[in-house]
Chains A and B, each alone.
Chain A
Amino acid sequence: MHLADGELPHDYLGYTYQKVLFILGGIVLLFVLLIVSIAVGAVSIPPVDVIMTLIGQNVTDKWDRIIWNIRLPQALTAIVAGAGLSVAGVAMQSILRNPLASPFTLGISNAGAFGAAVAVIIFGTGLMTSTTAGAVVINNPYLTTITAFAFCMLATVAIIAIAKIKASSPEVVVLAGVALSSLFTAGVMFLQYFADDTQLAAVVHWTFGDVGRAGWPELTLMAVITIAACIYFVANRWNYNAMDAGDETARALGVNVERLRNAGMVVAALVTSVLVSFLGVIGFVGLVCPHMVRRIIGDEQRYLIPGSIVMGAVLLLASDTVARLILAPYVLPVAILTAFMGAPIFIYLLLRGHHR
């Protein structure tokens, strides 16, 4: 029998349509959430008005200002950050063959926090001001962001260098990430010990990841890098499948495993660094989202990568919306909520003993 004489596998195709439906459903949910997220808040805006404003129909100038200047950038930032952190997480879990892998396992977020602490405490970028929200602001956000980014990249370079020395052994990379995390945490504690009240408050405030921090220019930069990373990982979905089948199988399937690992690590670290340095530390999204999607649609990367992107966006947007409402009129930074939500889910996953 000739191989090309096989039939079209309708059973299998039917099974894959379910996964496609899940992803499409996620996209629809994301749009609904986007409208809801913009509609609710200190001032409620009728959803119809939100939609009219978004498609360019001026309903009232007030709605226009609230939506275009405040709520839409915040909601889009949540979508971009959720998608970026989640795709970085799913890639890391594959690259490091480790269920605990996420952008944070590599110590990147702690490096960012250390960078921010250096900027605030040594370069003096923190300043206490009394605004209507009564918040601490960082008087030179760009210097803080650049320093945070520099330290994120430093951590990344260190990780990649360690991986090179030990020929990309996944265990070594994860353990090196744990070591770097504690190193940078110690660094932050050391700096905080010598900081004054204002600086301390500014560092702590920076550390709470908050998607409300970004304006349109920051959002644009984050979106460009996140979209590029998503395209990169989706384009490499078959290579990631091959890598999941084991290094030798992947190599026998024509995949240059070591190059794929290094490139994937750089891309994931870059997208994480950019998001962390603009928004602060947002934990658990990169870890939990891919696991939730794995449970629903499995480990097949063709669906897992897009699924994680969509689920990450949905989860962070939903979390941010809840965080804005839950203690109204106080607005919680989304990172506090993701940590509250992420830890129990994570422990649940550990207890279920699901591999990867």
Chain B
Amino acid sequence: MILSVDELQFLYRNTKILDDIAFSISEGEIVAILGPNGVGKTTLLKCLNRILVPKEGVVTVCGDPIASLGLMEVARRIGYVPQRVETGRLTGFDAVLLGRRPHIGWDITEKDLRIVDAAFKKFMIDHLRLHSIDEMSGGELQLIAIARAFVQEPKILLLDEPTSALDLKNQVEILDRIRNIVTDHRIAVVMTMHDLNTALRYADRFIFLKDQSIHTYGDRSIITENEIEAVYGVPVQIGELWGVPCVIPLCLCNGNGNGKEEERDDMIHKKEN
């Protein structure tokens, strides 16, 4: 068990945002935190590496309660990529090198430079080394930010909506590379997501948040039409394409999901014509 969360509660100005959160993650797993907007996905992610301090509960990382670790030690175990990445007039190499901060004493060493070099090759972004990050596209910047968190050599990587601002190609490229590093380096990834199909394709386990707490937590088998409708309030149809489940939202026309059958028939009808 690389990360476990027990009875976590988080308050923002006396308003309960998260309550009674408990789950655990093993190495080599990708976990997707899912749920509607404003349910506290990002808040939960930030509680895991103490960017936010929970009111109650214990987060344990590699056997140690996170509250007992210094900020630098937390940074050596957990990497974090925020949803919005800041830019500036510095090169991609500089930006990734910053990820060595938790390991740097007075100054960088050859080892730091070699690790950053390897990360550029690993993420296949060698061409961005000497590019200024304020001239990069959203996808490039996201890769730089993930590479930066990766060179922290963390055991756990937290990603806040890593693909929400990206086009299809960038989404696939980024998540493929994340999958690679998870397999090769046996780290765990926890990411918040909106797109259920992307989550289904890349994640091993899923946390559905609803009403301040975990609605369900488990592997692909928990993703059912009823579950998604209960969490998001939208009727869906789950199909399968080459063994990968696909979630297709249906129309809300009748409000209670009764339109499901008609809509499906409708779609089939259109397809046939």
Binding site for B on A (CB under 8 A): 1-9, 11-13, 15, 235, 238-239, 241-242, 244-246, 248-249, 251-256, 294, 298-300, 355-356
B-side contacts of A245, CB under 8 Å: 85-86, 88, 95, 98, 148
A254 touches B101 (CB 8 A): yes
- Knowing that A6-B118, A299-B88 touch, tell me 10 more A-B residue pairs with CB under 8 angstroms: A2-B118, A3-B151, A6-B113, A6-B117, A8-B110, A245-B98, A246-B84, A251-B71, A252-B80, A255-B71
B115 touches A12 (CB 8 A): no
A246 touches B129 (CB 8 A): no
> Which B residues, 203 to 249, have Cβ-Cβ distances below 8 Å to chain A?
none
B115 touches A15 (CB 8 A): no
B82 touches A4 (CB 8 A): no
CA–CA, A235 to B106, complex, Å? Answer: 7
Q: Which residue on chain B has the smallest CB distance to residue A354?
A: B89
A-side contacts of B129, CB under 8 Å: 9, 11-12
B-side contacts of A7, CB under 8 Å: 114, 117
Write the nearest CB–CB distance from B100 to chain A, whole angstroms.
Answer: 9
Q: Which of B72, B80, B88, B149 contacts A244 (CB 8 A)?
A: B88
CA–CA, A251 to B49, complex, Å? Answer: 9
Which 10 A-B pairs rank lowest in CB-CB distance, beginning with the nearest?
Answer: A6-B118, A254-B75, A6-B117, A252-B80, A254-B72, A6-B114, A246-B86, A299-B88, A253-B101, A298-B89
B-side contacts of A235, CB under 8 Å: 106
Q: Is B74's CB within 8 Å of the partner chain A?
A: yes
Q: Is B91's CB within 8 Å of the partner chain A?
A: yes
Interface size on B, residues (CB 8 A): 57
CA–CA, A355 to B135, complex, Å? Answer: 12
A9 touches B46 (CB 8 A): no
Given the known A-B contacts A12-B130, A245-B86, A252-B51, are A300 and B113 also in contact in the complex, defined by CB atoms under 8 Å? no
Q: Which of A5, A248, A252, A299 contacts B78 (CB 8 A)?
A: A252
CA–CA, A150 to B119, complex, Å? Answer: 51
A299 touches B90 (CB 8 A): yes
CA–CA, A241 to B151, complex, Å? Answer: 16
Write the nearest CB–CB distance from A203 to chain B, whole angstroms.
Answer: 41
Q: Is B152's CB within 8 Å of the partner chain A?
A: yes
- Inter-chain contact total with CB atoms closer than 8 Å: 131
A11 touches B114 (CB 8 A): no
Interface hub of A245, A255, A256 (most chain B Cβ within 10 A): A245
A8 touches B89 (CB 8 A): no
Q: Is B125's CB within 8 Å of the partner chain A?
A: no
Listed A/B pairs (25) with beta-carbon separation below 8 Å: A1-B118, A3-B118, A3-B153, A6-B116, A6-B118, A6-B119, A6-B120, A6-B121, A9-B113, A12-B129, A13-B113, A239-B101, A246-B82, A248-B82, A249-B148, A252-B49, A252-B80, A252-B82, A253-B102, A253-B152, A255-B101, A298-B88, A298-B89, A298-B94, A300-B94
A-side contacts of B81, CB under 8 Å: 249
A254 touches B71 (CB 8 A): yes
CA–CA, A249 to B88, complex, Å? Answer: 14
Q: Which residue on chain B has the smallest CB distance to residue A241?
A: B98
Write the nearest CB–CB distance from A278 to chain B, whole angstroms.
Answer: 32
Q: Which of A4, A246, A254, A298 contacts B118 (CB 8 A)?
A: A4
B117 touches A248 (CB 8 A): no
Q: Which residue on chain B has the smallest CB distance to residue A9?
A: B117
CA–CA, A12 to B120, complex, Å? Answer: 12
CA–CA, A101 to B85, complex, Å? Answer: 22
Q: Is B271's CB within 8 Å of the partner chain A?
A: no
Q: Is B170's CB within 8 Å of the partner chain A?
A: no
A-side contacts of B93, CB under 8 Å: 9, 12, 15
Q: Mark B63-89, 1 if CB is under 8 A from A, else 0.
A: 000000011111110111110111111
Q: Is B265's CB within 8 Å of the partner chain A?
A: no
Q: Which of B98, B145, B158 contacts A242 (CB 8 A)?
A: B98
CA–CA, A242 to B104, complex, Å? Answer: 12
Q: Is B132's CB within 8 Å of the partner chain A?
A: yes
A-side contacts of B46, CB under 8 Å: 248
Q: Which residue on chain A has the smallest CB distance to residue B184?
A: A1
CA–CA, A245 to B100, complex, Å? Answer: 13
CA–CA, A3 to B81, complex, Å? Answer: 20
CA–CA, A11 to B82, complex, Å? Answer: 29
A8 touches B101 (CB 8 A): no
A-side contacts of B132, CB under 8 Å: 298
Write the nearest CB–CB distance from A63 to chain B, whole angstroms.
Answer: 43
Q: Is B134's CB within 8 Å of the partner chain A?
A: yes
Write the nearest CB–CB distance from A130 to chain B, whole angstroms.
Answer: 53
